[in-house]
């Protein structure tokens, strides 16, 4: 419950000149009373009469902060504008208006040191975006309008072309690219791949932020009214700030029912326990301590559109987007709990990116009785166990993917380190684990199938023996066998081509893969020679070459 508003006092001025009175009234309210100054880090639209609409960079005077979640503030530009703002959307500000660290925390010195976020650290992470970030900042602000004009088709009301989909199509924000090693400027070593000299294994690399989360459902989504046919729905996510996308773009398919058209679900089974094997349970890993760092969610729909020339085209549109800040203003990570993320229309990289449909403010009781009609995405943040964290710490710094795929991605990185660091092989190498896995991990259904096969083949190996050198060699052999089991599927003519987010194609691919698992590849091809065909194999597919 929010705290009561502070009492208002009338200041009686003594006899003075009119000029001095005007000068007094022109003073900043925070300067006169001595209140602390805060700055808005993100845009926020209030849902009740007590909440303020704020924009990034707005300055306020902090009046009351007894409530840990909501602060009572006064706008510096308008002394009559007072109200509540979310605690995680603002930070203390210095004289220039830049965010500073919360200095009122009197915890132990080690806790204060771990929560410390300085302006220099923020500027350093912002500078790390480099020229590519600035190039995207210019390109991304006009991406949606330019794409709509060039396509010549009318998108559904409230929709724009998907920003994260466009980013992923550039082939620099896919999972396989993220898992690949990065060579240093001199070309003598790798930046994100190192060998532990003691264990002779891939060196573990802990980071500042590791999250495990489940995407539950999206509520109050406006049904799509389009001339074309809806082929599928999914939610895309990536690590972003207000300049660039820092991780790969990950997606989770949505379960849609025409009986409840304004609701999307992301799991067919409900569980109160930690659903680590569910497709809707993901993880995020980042080493940047930046109060502007967020996990961006974008609800997308795949549409089959027809233009004026009767040509059909498949496009992906954004139904809504939302942000989950990873850190509070004092540098602490967000809590492990459920979050309702508010969704907006448009693009997050434009000033018009906020929906204007739900601007009607309501009182507290009205909101409590009628509920909130604004589109929202519900997620649950989990606490990860030590064994899972050990595998995640072997992955690159900025990555987002399925939690169930962590063991196979960690094993892929271990084999990569053995090849490039221990054997010192920088040329072409025949290794199915290194050459075929990037193709598999970019297709989410095949990645899930690989995880199931890997779990089946390694379920007899105990966790406490996994660090033994002989067991490690056996696990690498089994990993190569698992990859080779999926290799023939990619060559079958009847196996549909992968289209991310296409519900019908994804179901057909899953059914085809299940038949192969039940009967076996040789049994399936031997008894159905006239029904199935397979393309010729090429040994060049097994050759991998790293820069």
Residues 485-533: tens digit of each pLDDT = 888 888 888 889 999 999 999 999 988 888 777 766 666 666 665 667 7
Length of the chain equals 547
User: Which of 29-43, 171-185, 228-242, 306-320 shows the lowest mean pLDDT across its residues?
Assistant: 29-43
Higher local confidence (pLDDT), 177 or 528: 177
Taken in order of first residue, the domains within the chain and their CATH numbers are 18-100 (2.30.30.40), 119-357+372-382 (2.60.40.150), 427-544 (no CATH)
Percent of the chain exceeding pLDDT 90 equals: 24
pLDDT-derived band at 18, boundaries 50, 70, 90: very low
Higher local confidence (pLDDT), 131 or 236: 236
Quick one: pLDDT at residue 65? Answer: 84
Higher local confidence (pLDDT), 410 or 520: 410
Quick one: pLDDT at residue 108? Answer: 35
Contact of 291 with 93, CB cutoff 8 Å? no
The CA dihedral of 135, 137, 139, 144, to the nearest 10 degrees, is 160
Find tokens 């509540």 and name the residue.
84
Residues 4-15: tens digit of each pLDDT = 444 443 433 343
How far is Cα 178 from Cα 173, in angstroms, rounded to an integer? 7
Whole-number mean pLDDT of the chain?
Answer: 75
Main-chain dihedrals φ then ψ at residue 317, nearest 5 degrees: -110, 155
pLDDT-derived band at 272, boundaries 50, 70, 90: very low
Distances (CA, A) of 400 to 39, 106, 211, 229: 30, 34, 9, 30
pLDDT-derived band at 17, boundaries 50, 70, 90: very low
Residue 543 scores a pLDDT above 90: no
Residue 540 scores a pLDDT above 80: no
Nearest to 544 by CA among 396, 433, 423: 433
Higher local confidence (pLDDT), 352 or 241: 241
Residues 357-389: tens digit of each pLDDT = 444 455 555 555 555 678 999 999 988 888 889
Residue 445 scores a pLDDT above 50: yes
Residue 54 scores a pLDDT above 50: yes
Contact of 306 with 153, CB cutoff 8 Å? yes
pTM of the predicted protein model: 0.69
Tokens at 157, concatenated: 């009301």
Residue 100 scores a pLDDT above 60: yes
User: Which of 130-139, 156-165, 280-289, 525-534 shows the lowest mean pLDDT across its residues?
Assistant: 130-139
Mean pLDDT of 169-191: 81
Residues 340-364: tens digit of each pLDDT = 999 988 777 665 544 444 444 555 5
Rg (CA), the chain: 27
The CA dihedral of 141, 142, 143, 147, to the nearest 10 degrees, is 160
Residues 455-472: tens digit of each pLDDT = 888 887 766 556 677 888
User: Which of 55-59, 257-261, 357-361, 478-482 shows the lowest mean pLDDT across its residues?
Assistant: 357-361
Separation of CA 386 from chain center: 22
Mean pLDDT of 23-52: 65
Quick one: pLDDT at residue 97? Answer: 82
Residue 298 scores a pLDDT above 70: yes
Percent of the chain exceeding pLDDT 70 equals: 70
């Amino acid at each position: 419950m929010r705290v009561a508003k502070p009492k208002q006092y009338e200041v009686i001025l003594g006899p003075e000149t009119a000029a001095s009175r005007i000068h007094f009234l022109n003073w900043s309210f925070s300067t006169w009373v001595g209140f602390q100054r805060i700055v808005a880090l993100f845009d926020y639209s209030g849902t009740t009469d007590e909440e303020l609409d704020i924009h990034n960079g707005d300055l306020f005077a902090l009046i009351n902060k007894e409530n840990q979640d909501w602060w009572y503030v006064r706008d510096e530009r308008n002394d009559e504008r007072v109200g509540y703002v979310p605690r995680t959307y603002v930070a203390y500000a210095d004289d220039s208006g830049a965010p500073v660290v919360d200095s009122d925390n009197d915890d132990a010195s080690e806790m204060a040191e771990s929560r410390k976020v300085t302006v220099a650290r923020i500027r350093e992470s912002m500078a790390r975006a480099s020229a590519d970030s600035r190039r995207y900042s210019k390109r991304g602000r006009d991406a949606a309008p330019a794409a709509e004009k060039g396509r010549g088709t009318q998108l559904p009301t409230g929709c724009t072309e998907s920003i994260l989909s466009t980013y992923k199509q550039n082939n620099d924000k896919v999972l396989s690219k993220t898992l690949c090693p990065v060579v240093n400027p001199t070309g003598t070593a790798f930046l994100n791949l190192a060998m532990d000299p003691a264990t002779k294994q891939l060196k573990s690399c802990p980071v500042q932020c590791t999250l495990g989360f489940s995407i539950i459902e999206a509520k109050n989504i406006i049904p799509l009214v389009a001339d074309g046919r809806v082929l599928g729905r999914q939610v895309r996510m990536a690590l972003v700030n207000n300049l660039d996308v820092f991780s790969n773009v990950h997606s989770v398919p949505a379960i849609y029912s025409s009986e409840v058209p304004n609701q999307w679900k992301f799991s067919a089974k409900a569980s109160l326990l930690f659903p680590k094997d569910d497709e809707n349970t993901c993880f995020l890993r980042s080493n940047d301590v930046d109060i502007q760092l967020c996990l961006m969610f974008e609800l997308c729909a795949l549409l089959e559109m027809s233009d004026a020339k009767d040509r059909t085209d498949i496009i992906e549109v954004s139904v809504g987007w939302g942000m989950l800040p990873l850190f509070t203003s004092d540098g602490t990570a967000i809590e492990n709990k459920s979050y309702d993320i508010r969704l907006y229309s448009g693009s997050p990289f434009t000033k018009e990116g906020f929906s204007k449909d739900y601007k009607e403010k309501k009182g507290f009781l009205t909101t409590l009785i009628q509920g909130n009609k604004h589109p929202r995405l519900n997620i649950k943040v989990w606490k990860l166990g030590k064994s899972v964290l050990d595998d995640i710490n072997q992955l690159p710094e900025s990555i987002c993917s399925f939690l169930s795929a962590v063991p196979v991605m960690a094993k892929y990185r271990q084999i990569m380190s053995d090849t490039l660091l221990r054997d010192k092989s920088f040329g072409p190498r025949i290794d199915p684990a290194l050459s075929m896995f990037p193709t598999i991990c970019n297709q989410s259904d095949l990645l899930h199938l690989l995880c199931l096969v890997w779990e089946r083949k390694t379920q007899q190996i105990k966790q406490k023996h996994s660090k033994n050198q002989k067991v490690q060699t056996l696990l690498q052999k089994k990993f190569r066998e698992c990859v080779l089991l999926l290799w023939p599927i990619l060559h079958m003519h009847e196996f549909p081509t992968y289209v991310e987010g296409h519900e019908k194609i994804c179901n057909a691919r899953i059914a085809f893969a299940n038949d192969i698992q039940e009967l076996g590849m040789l049994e399936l091809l031997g008894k159905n020679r006239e029904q199935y065909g397979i393309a010729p194999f090429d040994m060049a597919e097994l050759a991998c070459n790293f820069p």
